[in-house]
Amino acid sequence: MALALLWITQLQATPSLQEEAEWQAVRDPVGYLRRLDAHPQQDMEELDKALALLTQRKPTVTDHQMPDSGWHALNGLALYRTGHFSVSSKALQARLLADQGRYPEAYHALIDYMHDYKQHFNQTPSQHAAAFQAEMDLARSEASNRALQQENERQRKQLLHQQSARNYQLVLVGLLASALLLLGITTHRLHRSSRHLYKLATFDQLTDLPNRRALLERLATRWQQEGTLTLLIIDIDHFKQINDRHGHQAGDRAIQLLARELRSWAPDLQLVGRWGGEEFLVAVPLPAEDCWHLAEQLRQRIALLDNPRMTISTGVAGRSPADERLGQLIHRADMAMYQAKRQGRNQTILATIPSAQDELASSVA
C-alpha cells in the first residue's frame, strides 16, 4: 500500500489514464496483463510514459517491502514494453514470463528468441555482405567516375593540344603560303628583269633586231657547221644628210623602215640584225650569186619607200675555202659594201672569191 500511496503522490499531475493503468497493475496484475495481451496497441503512448515514470521511481521503493502483485505489475509493464523491442529483448520477455509463472509462454518466448536470434545471426553476415557489396559498388562507381573524369580531362587536354597544334599548323601553312607567294612574286620579277636584261643585251632597242654581240654569237655557232653561208652587209646611203636635213627622228625612222623590210624579206630572222649605226648584217644559207639577186630585190623595194626617201648599198660575200675564220668572211662582205659606195651607191656588189695566191700574198704582206 505504501507503493500505491507513493504512486498516487507522484502521479497526481499525470493524466487519469496513467493513474488507472498503474492502479490496475497493482490491484489486478493478472487481469491487467490479459487486457494488455488482448489489446497490445491500446494506450501505448500513455503506457510508455507510465513505464518511464515507474523506471524513474523504482530506486525510491527498493527499500520498501512490495507485494508480489506489485512486482508482477512492474514485470507486466516491462513485459508489455519488451514486445516492442528488438530480438535481444525477447530473452528478457521470456525471463519476465517465467518470473510470473507463465512457463509455457516463457518457453515459447525463449523458442522465438532462439529462432529470431538464429535468423538475425544468419541475416547479419548477409546484411554486412550486402552493405560491404554496396560499399564496394559505391567505391567502384566512384572510382569509375573518377576514371571517367580523368579520361574526360585527358581528352579535353588532348583536344586543346590538338587545337593548338592545328592553330600552329594553320599559322605555319599561312606563313609558308605567304613565303611561296613572295617567292613567286620575286621569281616573276627576277624572271621579268632577266628577260629585260637579256633583251637589252641581245636586241637593239630601236629596231628589236639582234644587236652586234648577239649576231656574232649566232654567226660563230653557224660558222662551226658545214654548209653554204653568205653574208650581206647593208648600209643606208647618205644617212648623215638625212639626219642633217630632216633631223635625228627622221634618221631613226629610216633605220626602223629598213629593219621592217628586212624582217619581211630575210629567210632566217635568227641571222638578221643591226650591225652598228645605219648598217645591218644578214646571213643567208644560200650561194653568193642567189643572195646577190635577193639583195637586188631588197634594194629596189627600199628605193620605193617614202618619208624619208633613201637608198642602200650592199656588199655580198660567200664562204670560200680560203676563209679560215669568220672575221675574214665579214671583212670581204664589208669591203664589197664600201666598193658599192665608191662606185656611186644604191647598188649591190658581189665580193670575189679569193685565190690561194691572193691569200698567200696577203699573208706575206
Per-residue confidence (pLDDT) for residue 122, from 0 to 100: 66
Per-residue pLDDT band at 5 (split at 50, 70, 90)? very low
132-182 pLDDT, tens per residue?
788 788 888 888 899 999 999 999 999 999 998 999 999 999 999 999 999
Q: Which of 39-53, 225-239, 245-259, 264-278 has the lowest mean pLDDT?
A: 39-53
> Does a cis peptide bond (omega within 30 degrees of 0) precede residue 67?
no
Active site residues: 278
Per-residue confidence (pLDDT) for residue 135, from 0 to 100: 79
More confident residue, 107 or 298: 298
Per-residue confidence (pLDDT) for residue 187, from 0 to 100: 87
How far is the C-alpha of 200 from the C-alpha of 194, rounded, in Å? 10
Per-residue confidence (pLDDT) for residue 256, from 0 to 100: 94
Per-residue confidence (pLDDT) for residue 9, from 0 to 100: 45
Per-residue confidence (pLDDT) for residue 201, from 0 to 100: 81
What phi and psi, each to the nearest 5 degrees, are found at residue 116?
A: -65, -35
What is the percent of the chain with per-residue pLDDT over 70, rounded to a whole number? 68
What is the percent of the chain with per-residue pLDDT over 90, rounded to a whole number? 41
Q: Are 350 and 288 in contact (CB under 8 A)?
A: yes
Q: What is the mean pLDDT of residues 253-260?
A: 94
Q: What is the mean pLDDT of residues 20-44?
A: 52
Q: What is the mean pLDDT of residues 100-114?
A: 79
Domains of the chain, first to last: 2-84 (no CATH), 212-364 (3.30.70.270)
How far is the C-alpha of 194 from the C-alpha of 183, rounded, in Å? 16
In this predicted structure, the answer to whether residue 337 has a pLDDT above a threshold of 50 is yes
Q: What contacts 194, CB < 8 A, 6 or more positions away? A: none
Per-residue confidence (pLDDT) for residue 28, from 0 to 100: 56
Per-residue confidence (pLDDT) for residue 46, from 0 to 100: 44
Per-residue confidence (pLDDT) for residue 38, from 0 to 100: 53
| Mean pLDDT computed over every residue of the chain | 77
Q: For the chain, what is the HEC assignment? A: CHHHHHHHHHCCCCCHHHHHHHHHHHHCHHHHHHHHHHCCCCCHHHHHHHHHHHHHHHHHHCCCCCCHHHHHHHHHHHHHHHCCCCCCHHHHHHHHHHHCCCHHHHHHHHHHHHHHHHHHHHHHHHHHHHHHHHHHHHHHHHHHHHHHHHHHHHHHHHHHHHHHHHHHHHHHHHHHHHHHHHHHHHHHHHHHHHHHHHHHHHECCCCCCECHHHHHHHHHHHHCCCCCCEEEEEEECCHHHHHHHHCHHHHHHHHHHHHHHHHHHCCCHHHEEEEECCEEEEEECCCHHHHHHHHHHHHHHHHCCCCCCCCEEEEEEECCCCCCCHHHHHHHHHHHHHHHHHCCCCCEEECCCCCHHHHHHHHHC
Per-residue confidence (pLDDT) for residue 34, from 0 to 100: 52
In this predicted structure, the answer to whether residue 343 has a pLDDT above a threshold of 90 is yes
More confident residue, 246 or 63: 246
Count of alpha carbons within 13 angstroms of residue 245, beta-carbon side: 10
170-218 pLDDT, tens per residue?
999 999 999 999 998 988 888 888 887 877 888 999 999 999 999 999 9
In this predicted structure, the answer to whether residue 26 has a pLDDT above a threshold of 90 is no
Report CA Rg, the chain. Answer: 70
Give me 344's grid cell.
Answer: 656611186
